[in-house]
Amino acid sequence: MISIQHISKSYKDAQAVRDISLEVKKGELFGLIGPDGAGKTTLMRILMTLLIQDEGNATMNGFDVIKDYKKIRNIVGYMPGRFSLYQDLTVEENLNFFATVFKTTVAENYELIKDIYIQIEPFKNRLAGKLSGGMKQKLALSCALIHKPEILVLDEPTTGVDAVSRKEFWDMLKKLQQKGITILVSTPYMDEAMLCNRVALMQKGKVLDIDTPQKLVENYARKLYAIKSNDMHRLIQDLRSFEKTDSAFAFGQYLHVTGKDDEVEATEFEDYLLKKDHVELEVFDIQPTIEDVFMNMMNE
Amino acid sequence: MKQFIGFLRKEFLHIFRDPRTMLIIFLLPIVQLLLFGKVINTDIQNSKIAILDQSHDNTTREITSKLMSSGYFVLGEELMPSDDVEDVFRKGKVKMVVTFGTNFEQTLERDGKVDVQLLADASDPNTARILTNYASGIINDYVKKEKLKNIELPNQINTEVRMLYNEGLKSVYMFVPGIMAMILMLISAMMTSISISKEKELGTMEVLLASPLKPIQIVLGKVTPYLLLSFVNALTIIIIGVFIFGVPIKGSFFLLMAESFLFILMALSLGILISTVAPNQMVAMFISVLALMLPTILLSGFMFPIENMPLPLRIISHAMPPRWFIVIIKNIMLKGTGIMYVWKETLILMFMAFVFIALSIKNFKIRLE
């Protein structure tokens, strides 16, 4: 449904995207995962026909992003990273406006947005600028869906939204996927990666790996330890200077640590750290998460 | 078409919901016109003058009463020969002092010649010049009509002055066309450029571009509301000009409105052009005010006569659209001429509109960069 081949794009002072290739299948919920500056927005804008790539080709549902930009603009729903609705129009006015822009009416496609819109309908006469972050996202999603797009492109839809609204938002995406809409979504949150069918891990304009999140985690062959002590700051410094440590990252309350090779045992860390006078020490094996996978890849 | 109407609806909602926009569109023209017309008045009326009369004879009294009854002057002070004239000016109460010497009437009848001294406060040079001209005019007129009527002078040449198209020399005749050019320029060019660059700044342009809307639909949707509102403004200004300030419309009202429409169209295309260059509202505003407003006021011939400008500025003034528009409306309103006399200026405005539209279309981006 979305096909990207060897796309590169640089701005005046920096290369934003380098030689990216990936395929998104019809009906898939595909995630672009990566920190700020990974090139997610640039890639999405190229797909949305808003930017022209320096090299490579991309097609959306078979339409070329440069030649057939007009056709693409009819079949794709887009939610930019920044809230891009009219703050001085009401919820209802925004929705009606985008419906007419896409030559349709709210009534015609109400079925599709019903589940989402029903949550903000009580506030339909409120100005969009006065909505909470979560409600703004729901409205933006409704507006992006109003013309029944075949593909939905969402640029960091959950950034700056509270945890409850984030979960609700992903539930909605799942439902939309069941209705046959292909969804490309970007996020800096690793936990959201697990909710996608497949993800592309991105960093500094490059794709590090593309797979299902489950596979990515399974393929993570390293032995991983969680370590905690009473002085976390000193702990991370001590571990990083330990010759048998490969990597050590803060992960919530614990440090996630890998050894130089998988032969390094938990007791070796324990002995070393006890010698360094760490108290309340905890060292144990853990299952890696997608974030560990990502951290590991970034390191390589 | 439905798309377009939806877009228009949205634009009008933007305008009607923003108090500042409403103020600029509906209040500013009226306030400015009233201010320029009433307060900033360069006409001389009821200027205070002082009289230092050392003769107190019939002639000096008659001249004094002629001056006072002209409507231009009122008596601020009667001075005594012992008073210090400079002191009177320093107090700033009077603009001019008229001094009659001793034995005024006798000298005039004996020698056929006598001197009147007019001292004016030239810290305001224009007013001083006008006051002394008026006063000498009145005095000469009096002497000629009353004193010399029985004397036959050989080979007399009389100048007869008539101010055509503005007999009363009212400055408001000048201000109404000028303000109209300025307001239409301000609302059309500034408001459209701001409203388009606002969409860029707030990121809504990104969504509009990614939609099936064509660039021409976006631009027309943005421009049409301001076209209508500017036209309403042009009408308001003309109505105020005619009914409050008594400026005549001697020519065709229809032609006047058609020319205004052309000027608005030109200003709107200039506004679009500015918005294609300006990345945000601040820059759009800055360009509009600095590049449009000031030249409109200073170089269009509205405030200062173009003939008096140094050559480089005179050349630049040719590129100022209001310059041509002001010529057109003055011709239509005051002289009552038809299109035959303003076709050249009309063509120039059309050409400018065409150039601005062509440049805007060339500059308008269907993508983000």
DSSP conformation class of A256: E
- Cβ contact B212–A70 (<8 Å): yes
Distance, in Å, from the CA atom of B367 to the CA atom of A66, rounded to the nearest integer, reads: 10
Per-residue pLDDT of A234-256, as tens digits, reads: 888 888 888 888 888 888 788 88
Residue B204 touches partner A, C-beta closer than 8 Å = yes
Predicted confidence (pLDDT) at residue A194 exceeds the cutoff of 80: yes
Q: How confident is the model at residue B41 (pLDDT cuts 50, 70, 90)?
A: low
* Cβ–Cβ contact B366 with A under 8 A: yes
Using the structure block, give the residue that is written with the tokens 């008073």.
B83
- In angstroms, the separation between the Cα of residue A128 and the nearest Cα of chain B is 13
In degrees rounded to 5, what are phi and psi of residue B103?
A: 50, 50
Cβ separation A103–B9 shorter than 8 A? no
User: What's the pLDDT tens digit per position in B176-209?
Assistant: 888 888 888 888 888 889 998 898 888 898 899 8
The pLDDT value given to residue A158: 87
B212 exposed, middle or buried (CB, 10 Å; 0-12, 13-18, 19+)? middle
Residue B258 is predicted with a pLDDT of: 94
Give me Rg for the CA atoms of chain B.
28
Q: Which domains does chain A have, with CATH numbers?
A: 2-212 (3.40.50.300), 225-299 (3.30.70)
Smallest Cβ–Cβ distance between B368 and the set A50, A100, A103 belongs to: A50
| DSSP letters spanning A161-185 | --HHHHHHHHHHHHHHHHTT-EEEE
Q: Is the pLDDT confidence value at B10 over 90?
A: yes
| B2/A45 touch (CB, cutoff 8 Å), yes or no | no
At B176 the pLDDT is 83
Chain B 8-27, residues with CB within 8 Å of chain A CB atoms:
9-10, 13-14, 17-18
Helices B339-363/B253-277 angle, 10° precision: 20
pLDDT grade, residue B153 (50/70/90)? low
A128: DSSP letter = G
Q: Does A50 touch chain B (CB under 8 A)?
A: yes
Q: What is the mean pLDDT of chain B?
A: 85
- Closest partner residue to A97 (CB to CB) among B10, B17, B209 is B10
CB contact B66 to A (< 8 Å):
no
**Nearest-angstrom CA–CA distance, B9 and B145:** 70
Q: Using CA coordinates, name the residue in chain B closest to A145.
A: B211
Closest by CA to B52, choosing from B97, B92, B114, B86, is: B97
Query: Per-residue pLDDT averaged across B217-229, rounded?
Result: 89
pLDDT of residue A88: 92
Q: Which residues of A touch B8 (CB under 8 A)?
A: none
Section B268-286 average pLDDT? 89
B-chain CB neighbours of A80 within 8 Å are 203, 206-207
pLDDT at B156 over 70: no
- Residues B10, B211: Cα–Cα separation, whole Å: 16
Domain ranges in chain B?
2-40+170-363, 47-147
Whether B206 sits inside 8 A of A85 (CB atoms) is no
- What is the distance between the alpha carbons of residues A74 and B233, in angstroms, rounded to a whole number? 39
Do the Cβ atoms of B210 and A49 come within 8 Å? Answer: yes
Contact residues on chain A for B2, CB-CB shorter than 8 A: 100, 103
CA dist B150 and B36 (Å) reads 47
Give ipTM to 2 decimals.
Answer: 0.84
Distance from CA of B25 to the nearest CA of A (A): 18
> Binning pLDDT at 50, 70 and 90, where does residue B151 land?
low
8 A C-beta contact, residue A231 and residue A278 = yes
> Phi, psi (5° rounding) for residue B279?
-80, -25
Tokens of A154: 């969402």
Q: Do B207 and A49 touch (CB under 8 A)?
A: no
Is the pLDDT reported for residue B351 higher than 70?
Answer: yes
Pairing state between β A151-154 and A182-187:
parallel
For A153, the enclosing helix (H) or strand (E) is strand A151-154
User: What integer is the mean pLDDT of A44-69?
Assistant: 91
pLDDT of amino acid A232: 81
Amino acid identity of residue A81, one-letter, is G
Mean pLDDT over B311-339 rounds to 88
* Closest residue in chain A to residue B18, using alpha carbons only: A88
Put simply, whether A77 touches B (Cβ < 8 Å) is no
Q: Test A84 with B206 for CB contact under 8 angstroms.
A: yes
Candidates A51, A82, A88, partner chain B, best to mutate (most B CBs within 10 A): A88
Is the CB of residue A10 less than 8 Å away from at least one CB of chain B? no
Query: What pLDDT score does B40 carry?
Result: 64
Which of A82, A83, A89 lies closest to B10 in CB terms?
Answer: A89
- With an 8 Å Cβ cutoff, are B210 and A78 in contact? yes
> How many residues in total does chain A contain?
300
Would the pLDDT of B45 be above 70?
Answer: yes
Among A60-64, A194-198, B23-27, B36-40, the least confident range: B36-40
Q: What average pLDDT does this structure show over A219-228?
A: 82
Q: Which of A127-141, B95-109, B291-305 is predicted least confidently?
A: B291-305
Q: A29-38, A262-271, B91-100, B129-138: which has the minimum mean pLDDT?
A: A262-271
Between residues B169 and A21, which one has the greater pLDDT?
Answer: A21
Tell me if residue B100 falls in helix, strand or coil: strand
Asked if A80 and B212 come within 8 Å (Cβ–Cβ), the reply is no
Rounded to an integer, what distance in angstroms lies between the CA atom of residue A37 and that of residue A198? 21
Write down the residue that tokens 């634009």 correspond to.
B11
| pLDDT at B108 (0 to 100) | 82
Which chain A residue has its CA at the smallest distance from B209's CA?
A50
More confident site: B112 or B5: B5
Q: What percent of chain A has pLDDT over 90?
A: 34
Of the pLDDT bands very low, low, confident and very high (cuts 50, 70, 90), residue B256 is: very high
Rounded Cα distance, B287 and A91, in Å: 34
Contact residues, chain A, for B210 at CB < 8 Å = 48-50, 73, 76, 78
Residues of A in contact with B18 (CB under 8 A): 88
Average pLDDT taken over every residue of chain A: 87
Residue among A49, A93, A100 minimizing CB distance to B3: A100
Q: Which CATH class is domain B47-147?
A: alpha beta
Q: What is the share, in percent, of chain B residues with pLDDT greater than 90?
A: 15
Cβ-nearest to B368 among A45, A76, A87: A45
Asked if pLDDT for residue B110 goes beyond 90, the answer is no
pLDDT-derived band at B262, boundaries 50, 70, 90: very high
State CA B54 to chain mean position distance: 43
